[in-house]
Amino acid sequence: MNPLTRIDWSAPETDDEVDFRYVPEPKMARELIDAVRAQGPRGEHLYAFLACMYYAANRPSEVADLKKSDLVLPEEGWGEMILAGSRPEVGSGWTDDGKPYEERGLKRRARRATRPVPIPPVLVQMLRDHIKTQGARP
């Protein structure tokens, strides 16, 4: 008799855990983000996007859907972002309305669920600077 048939095991529902062996330390991350910013207008535009992914552990699609009204950015100290949706880029051939992205709720959450995310002072300042220089959608 095959002993493997007696094993009761199923694969985990998700395998998207972060492998911290490949996450840069804070000093290196800041240098990488600053290097992107130094690349000119496009880098200036991407600076806050990458900072949100690193300092707040946001998915790219969550950052793409972030609005100014979703942010609490005090003059000093910790802030907060309230994530309410995501906007993954899927290509215009894959959407019903021909847009290159879809507007969705947060991944693995109810359609209208929100998720509060505390953001450290360094990201608060980066976002304040970005809004001042690049603007923000309403």
Residue 77 has what pLDDT? Answer: 95
Could you give phi then psi for residue 63, rounded to 5 degrees? Answer: -65, -40
Residue 106 has what pLDDT? Answer: 65
Print pLDDT tens along the chain (138 aa): 677 677 777 766 666 666 778 788 889 999 999 999 999 988 988 889 899 989 988 888 888 888 898 889 999 999 999 887 766 666 666 667 667 666 766 666 666 667 788 999 999 999 999 999 888 866
Residue 109 has what pLDDT? Answer: 61
Distance CA(110)–CA(18), nearest Å, equals: 23
Cα–Cα distances (Å) from 53 to 23, 94, 97, in that order, read 11, 25, 28
Residue 38 has what pLDDT? Answer: 94
Indicate the Cα dihedral angle 15, 51, 99, 97, nearest 10°: 60
Find out whether 107 and 86 touch, Cβ atoms under 8 Å. yes
Enumerate the domain spans of the chain: 23-134
pTM over 0.75: no
